[in-house]
Amino acid sequence: MKKKVLITGATGRTGLLVVKKLQIENNDWQVIPFAKSPTKAEEIFTSTENFIFGNILSFEDLTIATQGCDTLIILTSAVPKMISPPFEGKPPEFDFEDRGKPEEVDWIGQKNQIDAAKQAGIKHIILVGSMGGTNDNHPLNRLGNGNILIWKRKAEEYLINSGIDYTIIHAGGLLDKPDGKRELLVGKNDEFLTNPPNNIPTSIPRGDVANVVIEALDNPFAKNKVFDLISKPESENNTLITYDWNNFFQQIT
């Protein structure tokens, strides 16, 4: 019998990649995508079979969604919206949609997911967050006065203290570029932001983040690890890069 993995944020730009990759690959996992909007899901996916629709602010919705699942992948995140473009030297202004502020999505919503997972007996949670959480004054926290990285870090600490096995990935700036063509680098405590290796950009294609998430599902060395993740620039020879995933996760302390 296949194990079940619940993927929240399934219609987000990274979430849809995780869902589609897992649906295509021949593996032992039954994919249960969780999303808020049936309309958006129908636009993205050829089929919404096995989808569960609900809101992460509803513990009841999450209680239903987590039943019978073995692993939870959290890919939900508050999304800032530009409400005023830059004008005459003034920076752009941002805000968040109703019930979509970081305190609600990245703290209350993620806490709900962790609590529902624990109640359902889920054994492993993979959470994708962002680099920059060690700096309360990071520019991302000023977007819409949302303190998004502060709330994300609060949820991560809650997960670590939950007693559930965890894998927490602090992704660099996300790129809509082809995956599998860049060497991946792992670090900790935002060291790439303060001292980037060879001054390379602290970014990574979304597809490469999705690949690491998927590999963490079955790899015992990925459990109870927190790490930053970026990539080197794409190689000029355009060849695919393969990994020994045991070694990849074992290097993370």
- Of the residues 84, 130, 162, 203, only one is catalytic, namely 130
List of E strands, 38-84: 52-53, 71-74, 81-84
Q: Of the candidates 161, 168, 213, which has an alpha carbon nearest to the alpha carbon of residue 29? A: 213
* Residue 224 bridge partners (DSSP): none
State the residue for tokens 């995956």: 179
| DSSP structural state of residue 150 | H
> CB neighbours (10 Å) of residue 35?
25
Amino acid present at 72: L
Active site residue 84: no
3-state DSSP assignment of residue 124: strand
Q: Are 19 and 45 in contact (CB under 8 A)?
A: yes
Rounded to whole angstroms, the Cα distance separating 2 from 19 reads: 16
Burial 219-242 (b: 16+ CB within 10 A, else e): bebbeebbbbbbbbebeeeeeeee
Catalytic residues: 130
